[in-house]
Structures are given as C-alpha cells and as structure tokens.
Structure 1
Amino acid sequence: MATTTMLPAAGPNWVRRFVPWIRANLFNSVGNSIITVVVGGLVLWLVSALVKWGIIDAVWVAPNMRACQAEGTGACWAFVAEKWRFILFGRFPYDSQWRPALVTVLLFVLTGASFVPKLWRRETAYAWLAAILVSAILMYGGVLGLDYVPSDLWSGLPLTLILSLLSMILGFPLAVLLALGRRSNLPIIKIFCTASIEIMRGVPLITVLFMASLMLPLFLPPGFTVDKQLRALIAITLFLAAYQAEDVRAGLMALPKGQFEAADALGLSYWRKTKSIVLPQAITIVIPPLVGNLIGNFKNTSLVSIISLLDLMQTTQVALIDPNWRGLTSEAYLFLGVIYFAACFAMSRYSQWLERRLNKGKRR
C-alpha cells in the first residue's frame, strides 16, 4: 500500500500565518478586495509623500528659515536642531541645563523600572522618594555648589514630567480614598467625598488652574506665598483624583457581593479586607479607564500655559516667535507630537500588557 508523505509548507512561520490571515480578512470578497487596494494605495502614497518631505528633501542644517524655503525642499529640521534645547528646557540657565536633563533621565528610568512587576516592592517607593528629593535639589540648587534657580525658570519637558508624574503618584491614593469614602456608611465622610468628586468633575481643568493661581493667594495670610508650580500641581492632582475615584468606584461596584461576604466571614477588618481582597480585584477591572485618565492627564498639563507656566507646549510656541524661524509650525508641532505620542503610546501598551497579565486565567 502506497504511503503519502506530507511535505512541510514552504516559507517562514510568519508567512504561513500571515498569508491566510490576509486572504481571510482583506481579500475574502470582491468588495473587500477593492477597498483593500484603494486604502493600501492611499496609505502608500501618504507614506511616500511623508518620507519625501520629512527625510529625502528635508533641510537638516540652515542658518534661518529663508534658507529652508528653496524650491524643492521639504521639512526644515534645522529649526529643531537650533531650538531643541529651548524647547526641552526653556528658560532654565543654559550652562545648568544638564541638571533638568539629568532629572528627566532619572524620572524616565524610575518610571520604566516601576513598570517591571518584579520591582513592585517597598524599595521602589523609597526610590521614588529619593528621586523626588534629588530632583528638587537639582532643579532648585542652592546646595552642593549648585547655583540657585527659582522655580519661575523651570520650563519645558522637566516641568511637564514633574507636573504629570507627581500628580499621578499623589492622585491615585487620593482617588482610592475618595472612592471608598463615597461608598462609606458614615454620612459626613460620604457627603464630603461625593461633593469633592462632583465639584471637580463639574468644572474644566482651566477653571481649577485659575482658582489655584489667582484666587488661592487671596485667602492666604499677608506675606505668605505658595509656589505657582506647587499650586498647579495641587490643582491637577485634585482634578485627576476626582476622575480616577469614579473609575475605582466602578470597579468596586462591579465586584460580586460574595467577595465582600467571604471576607467578612473570615473575620477580616475593613482595611485588611479592602487592601487584600477588594482593591486588587477592583483595580484590575478598571485598568483601561484608569490609564486613559493618566494619558489625558499627561496631555492636559499643557493647559498650565494659561497661568504663565512654560511647559513643553508653551516653550515650542515661544520658540516659533523667533523671526528667523517664524512659520515652521509643522516641524515644531510634529517634533512635539512625537514626544507626546511616545509617552502616551508607552502607557497604553503597558496597560494592555498589565491587563493581560493580571487577567491571566480569568478569560474564557
């Protein structure tokens, strides 16, 4: 009896997986095939045009904007090469810009380390406290031979990172307390937490920033002042905490009642039950909206420009005022968009990975 030998399919594994997927999803009918070809042609045309404008015909070195306006030239990246230090560090003294650069690297490294599950330990919290102290010393100076730099000169990327990261770190614990307080059986605590959440959620962030910058000093004793950056940080933290509190409350309400009853049956105290059983499950459920608020908060820090703080967005706009480079908005905002996209995309991808990791074994 003759035997038939099955030959392995030719080509790499990714080809054997990818080709059937294309046939099943993109060319499974005449209509879908036409749409695929048209959309693919448009994408190819757009990508080729961007590559030609942004790389092939781009001007990388030029003394001013006029040198970039010759016929047939593309993007004027000479503007970014000339202004990148001001865009990133703003009015911080030029000779001392290594200090905010070091703070930026420190915050990025510590944030990346905090994403690693093996480092979710108490030592990481201590590392954050040490990093905040070191960042304050580097930014302010006045000690260890560093020149003093007033906070009014803090600007650019370091200011954006400080406002966004610290508001995230401080806002989440406050959000958890507000969410728990809103579900409390104590009327005073419940009313206070509910009112705090609804007031913050009922007004725009611009209003909160204006109140923190202009109205708060009116209620302070004469001669007592609060740093403008600190006021902005408090305003953004309270605003973020109100939105995240509702996300956490939604996670608490989504838990089956049996989880609470089982914890009570074990004789656990309220705080032990909340810490060990309730919160871990509730937060796992609402990871997507929580990260969505964090991404929005990172971008919302650009609103501090209305209270005269030069964040990353505002330093870019100031750089465009230079008569030698006026009008290069496409290059400036594309450079700015890459920075924002990289940070937001990293948070989005990490949240998806974290959700899959925490929900492992629960999906059907």
Structure 2
Amino acid sequence: MANTDIHYVRSHMVAPEAPPRSVHGMAHWLRTNLFSSPLNSMLTIFGLLLVAWFLPPVIQWLFINAVWTGENRAVCSTIAQGGIQPDGWSGACWAFVNAKLGQFIYGRYPIDQRWRVDVTALLFVILLVPLLIPRIKHKVFNAILFFCVFPVVAFFLLVGGWFGLPYVETPLWGGLLVTLVLSFVGITMSLPLGILLALGRRSHLPVIKALSVIFIETIRGVPLVTVLFMASVMLPLFLPPGITFDKLLRALIGVALFASAYMAETIRGGLQAIPRGQYEGADALGLSYWQKMGLIILPQALKLVIPGIVNSFISLFKDTSLVYIIGMFDLLGIVRQNFADSNWASPQTPATGLVFAGFVFWIFCFSMSRYSIFVERRLDTGHKR
C-alpha cells in the first residue's frame, strides 16, 4: 500500500481578532497613563480637583461675564450679566481690546497706510509657509526670496519715501508690528552670527578665538536691558557729531548681537557632541575646513541642538518686550500704554489687556515649539527618545 501524503492548504486567511479589552481602549489608556500606581492615582486626582477649582471661575471671567462690545469704560464696570457682582468678579473687558485692536497691531502707523503692513505680512506668510513644508520643492530659490529679497521689499513698504509711498518714521511703529520686526531680524541674524562665533571660539587661531570669547562672555554677562540702553543712549555719544542711527535700527542691532552670543554657546554644545571620528573622516576625504564644517559637522551639530535653538528663538521673541524701556512700544508696551486712556479706565481693563497680550505671545511661541518637535521627528535617525 503506497504512502500518500495529505496536505491541507488554507484557501483564505483568518480574519484578525480584536485585541483584549485590557490592552486597548480608553480604559487601558487611563490605567496606563493616569492610574498606573498609587502615587500616579493620587497625583491625577489632585490635578483634577485643582482644575475643577481653578477652571470654572476663569471661564466665567473670560467668557460668561465678559463684555464684548461697547464704546467706553461704562460697559466694563462691575455690573456683569448676572447683575451687580462683588468688585473684581465682573467679566473681562474685551470691548477694550476690540476698540484698541488697531493700535495693538499697528501702533500709531497711519491708518490710511496700514495696507502696507498687511501686504508685508501677507508676503511674509506666502514665502515662509513653503519653507516650512518639506514636500514643497525649490527650497533654495524660496530661501533666497525670503532671506534676501523679502527684507528689501519689506523695508521699502514699511518705511516708504520711494515709489510714491509716503514716508512713515519708525517712532510711529508699534504693537505687534514692532514685535515681529524685532523678533524676525533677531532670529534671522542671530543664527548665522552664532554659528560664526561658535566656530571662532573653537578656532585654533589665537586672535579669532580670543575675540569670540571676549564678545560672547561680555554679552552674556550683562542683561538685555543694558544692551538696549547702551545701543539707544550710549552709542550716539561715541559717534561723530551729526551722525545718528534710527532708534529701531539700534534696537535691532542690540537684540541680534545679544541673541547671537547665546546662540553661539548652544551651537558650540552641538559641535562638541560630534564624535572625533567625524572630523577625522572629513580630513581623510581631503575636505577643506569650510567643506568639512558645511557638509559634515554643522548639519549633525545643528540637528542635535534643535531644542536649544528653538528655545533661544522663543526667549528672544518674548524678550522683545524689553524695548519698552527705551521708549519703543511693542505689543506689550502698546497695551500698557493704553491703560492710561481715561475713556477705558476700569478695574478689568489692565487684566484683560495683559491676558490678550499673553495669549498672542503664547500662540507664536507654541507654534515655534510644535514645529521644532515636527522637525526633530523628521530628522530622527532611529535613536530612542
């Protein structure tokens, strides 16, 4: 009797079964992240109680009892929607923000010329967005337009005096316009200057290294207020008679130099984290110093210090509010200046204005933070975080 092998061949795959309830779903997430241990459970319960105690009054002040429209401070009195409330319990005075929104954005820029600021902002967004989206091509051409052409166009648009545009002096600038100009120029200039200073501090040339160290340690040893004060008040004393610089230009230079010193130390940390074998490999290939740095070392170093770079950018964006000390009115400064308007003086006006300014700062800073996380994940090479 011959042996016959019987083979069973599956004609179709078995449908996958759902995982057990204990390892997926909301209950699993809560048990894993919030109630994984007695200590975590206590902290979760305490946090929920804190939110329940803090959040309802905040929502009531911000939205429920808030006053959204009005023409003067009478609408922002302590009379809320629910009747007469104790002093300090009435809602936010968003009518004040609504009435002063133009000043908060443009400062004292002439109303009939504010379209120039709008066009500049539109060009900024149109050129910036393609740079931030990796899938869009022609990055080099776009970068040239953004970093080289756009600043020139923005200067002619905002300042005027050419091509039939009326001249608008910088003391009339203010609000979010000044904040964005200072932060954009500071961020744009601090990164390349910081790279040069970091390379200079690691240079084997004694003069270059000494100058870089002196600059970095001097700038880092004084607060930004001192740098702005010296750029605004002391610098004209060292210039020849009759020669002066615009106050905004002096603030731009001071902010850029101050930020570049901190940026240099951040980048130097990334350079020191690169293994020596990378330097030796580049030398073995016969690359020059600038080829080695530009093609091998700096791309790796900058990727390592992305959190530090973005942290410096965020700090710089918030530090622009210090120009108030030299008589310039950025977003926070113009908000504080309008507190003195007797037409809107009320107990709720200052808090509402500061909440508005803080929210605008948070939007920009949070956006930079989230984009940096996106860049980190995209450039991640598989190392565990």
TM-score between both structures, scaled by the size of structure 1 = 0.92
Where do residues 122-271 of structure 1 align in structure 2 (5 Å cutoff)? 122-128=140-146, 129-271=148-290
113, 116, 123: which one aligns with 1:96: 113
Q: 2: distance between equivalents of 1:137 and 1:354? A: 33
In the other structure, the counterpart of 1:37 is: 45
Shift of 1:123: 1.1
Instruction: Specify the alignment match of 1:336 in structure 2.
Output: 357
Q: Does 1:58 align with 2:84?
A: no
How far apart in 2 are the matches of 1:336 and 1:360? 39
Alpha-carbon displacement from aligned partner over 1:215-242 (angstroms, at most 9, x marks no partner): 1111212111111111111111111110
Residues in 1 aligned to 2:16 and 2:257: alpha-carbon distance in whole angstroms: 66
How far the C-alpha of 1:109 sits from its partner, in A, is 4.1
Distance 2:339 2:137 in 1: 42
Corresponding position of 1:363: 384
Amino acid of the residue matched to residue 336 of structure 1?
A
For residues 158-213 of structure 1, give each alpha carbon's deviation from its aligned partner in whole angstroms, at most 9, with x where no partner exists.
Answer: 11111111111111111111111111111111111111111111111111111111
Distance 1:349 1:120 in 2: 24
Q: CA deviation at 1:360?
A: 2.9
Task: Specify the alignment match of 1:78 in structure 2.
Answer: 95
Q: 2:55 aligns with which of 44, 47, 52?
A: 47
Deviation at 1:119, TM superposition (A): 5.2
**Counterpart residue number, 1:22:** 30
Local SS of the residue matching 2:342:
coil
Residues 29-38 or 173-182, more deviating: 29-38
Work out whether 1:305 is the aligned partner of 2:306: no
Q: Is the 8 A contact 1:114 1:120 kept in 2?
A: no
Residues 284 and 358, structure 1, Cα contact 8 Å, conserved in 2: yes
Contact 2:61 2:92 in 1 (8 A): yes
Shift of residue 146, structure 1, vs aligned partner = 1.9
8 Å CA contact 2:107, 2:177 repeated in 1: no
What does residue 305 of structure 2 align with? 286
Q: Give per-residue Cα distances to partners, 1:18-50, cap 9 Å, x unaligned.
A: 321211232344554344234213313433322
Q: Is the 8 A contact 2:131 2:143 kept in 1?
A: no
Q: Structure 2 CA distance, aligned partners of 1:31 and 1:186?
A: 56
What is the rounded CA distance, in whole Å, between the counterparts of 1:120 and 1:215 in structure 2?
45
CA shift in 2, pair 1:35/1:183, >3 Å: closer
Q: Where do residues 100-115 of structure 1 align in structure 2 (5 Å cutoff)? A: 100-115=117-132
Q: Which amino acid aligns with 1:350?
A: Y
Aligned-pair CA distance for 1:354: 0.9
Note if contact 1:168-1:237 (Cα within 8 Å) is conserved in structure 2.
yes
Larger radius of gyration: 2
Aligned length: 358
Q: CA deviation at 1:52?
A: 2.1
More displaced stretch, 224-233 vs 16-25: 16-25
Residue 253 of structure 1: how far off its partner (Å): 0.7
Give the Å deviation of 1:351: 1.0
Alignment of 1:5-20 (within 5 A): 8=18, 16-20=24-28
Give 1:10 deviation, angstroms: 9.9
Gaps of 5+ in 2: 1-14
SS where residue 290 of structure 1 aligns?
Answer: helix
- Whole-Å Cα distance in 1 between the matches of residues 219 and 137 of structure 2? 33
Query: Structure 1: where are the runs of 5+ without partners?
Result: none
Query: Which of 345, 366, 369 in structure 2 is aligned with 1:348?
Result: 369
Q: 1:120 to 1:37 in 2, by over 3 A?
A: farther
Picking from 76, 89, 99, the partner of 1:68 is: 76
